[in-house]
DNA sequence: GTCTATAGAACGATAGAC
DNA sequence: GTCTATCGTTCTATAGAC
């Protein structure tokens, strides 16, 4: 049952998709409502006919992006042919493909600039679309977490630590290895550490 | 040979110490020149008699903070009585004591808001005061790094990953363990990973 | 050396014509 | 539903009196 889209709905979608590009690239604080309007090809005040304020646009974008993230995590967790490590490698690769400048600039750095209500909502969306699906991976029987770390903590640490390596000043593994292998190496470092375990 | 401090030098020191508090707490972008002047008890334009611009104040602050960081790392590396892990635990505790909101908000998040010359200088200061001293630790013969990771990469990963855990939405180890033990646990997770190594 | 006053730019958001 | 015009705020930085 495909519903015909009104002109207003089309413009609203256009704004969301334009905002998605800019918010993912620059984060909430560095994105102006004029940036979004320019990409959408409308004037800045026209945006306010479709959304109450900048925060409402952002949270709708997080909702859209989050659904994509949940989808790629869900796909990855259920791939039975792959070893667990390769499955997680595919998951994290897909997450960072969605976030060209990392997850932190899109989610974590935006948090402080929202209203209290917006902060609560962002925390909820982050948990629902990023952390809970990843917790599903760490709950798999074939994944062995260290006993001090709970599955939902592991999900948060994984995203935050990978993001830190992703946007680091330096580059892991030297300049000779491909970015694909760097992702896999970063993942191994988060999972198994940067040092050899002592006896 | 103690030199008497002129009034101008005293005001300059006052500005730097006030700016240090605010920059460490909020980072470069969220700190206004009025914030700094208010804490110093002067008017905002008076600052411009002592510094060319906001960036110059920030880079002088990074220079001061950085010297303190190099100092606590140097002290920690040379403590021969402690086991290497306890030594690194003491080092990272002291680094994060200097940065009440983490290293990232002070260094990494400021980078994008500086001029190209300022970015080069910040990168230089970060390497000189944070990474190089920590590389000294990872070069110690009793520290066993994973073979894929070079000592200077380890230094960068350590600071970035600890910072990510420090400012994470969630809290490692549950609410029952003290923040002191959380620091030690976070350090272990960076060094040895969050998962059990496979056979 | 520090002040008042203000320039000049960017921002989020609103008013009101069409 | 979209536009032009503009309000009110905040920001870095400068001009010029004292």
Q: Taking 60 as the threshold, does the pLDDT of residue A199 lie above it?
A: no
**What pLDDT, in 10s, does the model give residues A80-131?**
787 888 999 999 999 999 999 999 999 999 999 999 999 999 999 999 999 9
Q: Taking 90 as the threshold, does the pLDDT of residue B155 lie above it?
A: yes
What is the predicted pLDDT for the residue at B5?
A: 85
Domain segments of chain A: what residues?
A: 54-169+179-191
Q: B3 CA to chain A: closest CA distance, Å?
A: 40
Domain A54-169+179-191, classified CATH 1.10.357, yes or no: yes
**Residue A76 to residue A146: CA distance in whole angstroms:** 22
**Residue B21 to residue B26: CA distance in whole angstroms:** 9
Q: Taking 80 as the threshold, does the pLDDT of residue B198 lie above it?
A: no
User: Which chain A residue lies closest to B131 (C-alpha atoms)?
Assistant: A170
Q: Taking 60 as the threshold, does the pLDDT of residue A50 lie above it?
A: yes
More confident: B25 or B173: B25
Whose CA is nearest the C1' atom of nucleotide C5? Answer: B45
CB contact under 8 A, A165 and B169: no
Average pLDDT score over residue span B75-81: 87
**What pLDDT, in 10s, does the model give residues B7-46?**
889 999 999 999 999 999 999 999 999 999 999 999 999 9
3-state secondary structure A167-186: CCCCCCCCCCCCHHHHHHHH
Q: For chain D, which bases have at least one atom within 7 A of a protein Cβ?
A: 1-5, 10-16
Identify which of B174, B175, B190, B159 has the alpha carbon closest to the alpha carbon of residue A148. B174
What is the predicted pLDDT for the residue at B173?
A: 67
- Residue A52's CB is within 10 A of a number of other CB atoms, namely 8
State in words which class domain B54-192 has. Answer: mainly alpha
CB contact under 8 A, B160 and A165: yes
What is the predicted pLDDT for the residue at A196?
A: 87
A45 CB inside 7 Å of strand C: yes
CB contact under 8 A, A191 and B191: no
**What pLDDT, in 10s, does the model give residues B135-150?**
999 999 989 999 999 9
User: Which of B148, B160, B198 is facing A168, going by the closest CB pair?
Assistant: B160
Give me the count of residues in chain A. 199
Q: Taking 90 as the threshold, does the pLDDT of residue B181 lie above it?
A: no
Whose CA is nearest the C1' atom of nucleotide C11? Answer: A32
Phi/psi at A22 (5° precision): -75, -45
What is the predicted pLDDT for the residue at B45?
A: 98
Specify the 3-state DSSP secondary structure of B195.
Answer: strand
**Residue A92 to residue A152: CA distance in whole angstroms:** 16
What is the predicted pLDDT for the residue at A1?
A: 65
């Amino acid at each position: 049952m495909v519903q015909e889209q009104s002109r207003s709905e089309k413009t609203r979608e256009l704004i969301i998709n334009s905002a998605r590009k800019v918010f993912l690239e620059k984060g909430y604080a560095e994105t102006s409502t004029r940036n979004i309007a320019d990409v959408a090809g409308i004037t800045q005040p026209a945006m306010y006919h479709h959304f109450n304020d900048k925060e409402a646009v952002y949270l709708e974008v997080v909702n859209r992006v989050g659904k994509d993230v949940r989808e790629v995590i869900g796909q990855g967790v259920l791939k039975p042919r792959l070893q667990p490590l390769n499955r997680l490698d595919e998951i994290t690769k897909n997450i960072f493909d969605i976030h060209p400048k990392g997850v932190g600039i899109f989610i974590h750095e935006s948090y402080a600039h929202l209203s209290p209500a917006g902060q609560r909502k962002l925390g909820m969306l982050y948990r629902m679309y990023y952390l809970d699906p990843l917790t599903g991976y760490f709950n798999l029987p074939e994944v062995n977490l260290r006993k001090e770390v709970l599955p939902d903590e592991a999900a948060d640490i994984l995203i935050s630590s990978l993001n830190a390596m992703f946007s680091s000043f330096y580059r892991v593994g030297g300049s000779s290895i491909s970015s694909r292998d760097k992702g896999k190496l970063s993942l191994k470092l988060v999972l198994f550490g940067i040092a050899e375990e002592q006896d």
